[in-house]
Amino acid sequence: MAKPVKTVPYLKPVPDGPVTDSFDAEAVAERRAEEALIVDVDGYEGPLDLLLTLARTQKVDLMKISVLHLAEQYLVFVEQARALRIELAADYLVMAAWLAFLKSRLLLPPDPEAEGPSAEDMAAHLAFQLERLDAMRQAAARLMGRDRLGISRFQRGAPETVTRKRRTEWQAGLIDLMRAYARLKTRDEFRPYAFDRQDVFTMEQALERIRRMIGFVGDWTDLSDFLPDGWEGQGARRRSATAATFAASLELAREGKLEIRQKDAFAPITIRRRPT
């Protein structure tokens, strides 16, 4: 059986007038403590929000709480809070309704066919909402406790002129300096090599010359006999003609028009027309 109510705190009215900018945490905490509903039931005495928090962890036996005495205390508190904060009384009534509903669910045996959350799930959900509310209150208290612009801190009157100076520092070793010096010295002296294409014997010219001469030469003929006339004493022109003639003979051998033979390594290369 629940004990009778010990005391019901008197709710101090909020004074009229503008609210000052200073934040007095102790005054607010004192006012909240005075406005809190104090209940005296079997097994626990304290604010209702703490009673609900303990109900989730089953530290207070909800089976022994008298809903009648709890409702009577609520009615007294609502009458005193009606002139000041009706929404505050409504919040407390919502919490009381949840507590009464939770108690009724715990008193009744569980119905396996019943739909909706169980009593344990409802208690866990209610505890989660209380934890979120407590976290928001703590965050608000920390936020309001910080220094505020215009009250605790003030902006600078005129902006300060800031001049930026950028200085470049080069880091280089001896090798880097030598490379840079070499590039500067050879920059004007370097000229890309350009060869005269008129002194180059192309592969097309070599193919035309071999096709024209292959029918009039003997059985096996040295490849040098197919070089252009007058190029024997000119080294660069002779090398280009030799390379072009050799490439042309390989192309004709691939087409099956002639045969190539070399007896030993570095021996003269001879060609002949393929017999039909």
Q: Is residue 44 within 8 Å of 54, Cβ to Cβ?
A: yes
- State how far the alpha carbon of 25 is from the alpha carbons of 17, 153, 242, in Å: 19, 19, 103
Give me the pLDDT at residue 1, please: 37
Q: What band does 229 get if pLDDT is binned at 50, 70 and 90?
A: confident
Q: What is the DSSP string of 5-44?
A: P---PPPPPPPPSPPPS---HHHHHHHHHHHSPEEEETTE
Give phi and psi for 270, each to the nearest 5.
-120, 150
CB 241 within 8 A of CB 200: no
Are 12 and 31 contacting, i.e. CB atoms less than 8 angstroms apart?
A: yes
Residue 69's pLDDT band, with cuts at 50, 70 and 90, is low
Q: The whole model's pTM is what?
A: 0.31
**Radius of gyration (C-alpha) of the chain in whole angstroms:** 53
The predicted pLDDT at position 37 comes to 54
Query: What integer pLDDT is reported at residue 15 of this predicted model?
Result: 42
In the block, residue with structure tokens 């709890």: 70
Ordered by where they begin, the domains of the chain are: 25-110+117-145 (no CATH), 198-273 (1.10.10.580)
User: What average pLDDT score do residues 8-33 get?
Assistant: 50
- CA–CA separation, 187 vs 226, rounded Å? 44
Evaluated on CA atoms 58, 89, 100, 132, the torsion sign reads negative
Whether the predicted pLDDT of 96 surpasses 60: yes
The set of residues, in sequence order, having a beta carbon less than 8 Å from that of 148 and lying 6+ positions away, is 21
Q: Can you read off the two tokens belonging to residue 183? A: 């590039």
Residue with more model confidence, 147 or 4? 147
Q: Is 272 exposed, middle or buried (0-12, 13-18, 19+ CB in 10 A)?
A: middle
- Residue range 201-229: mean pLDDT, rounded: 87
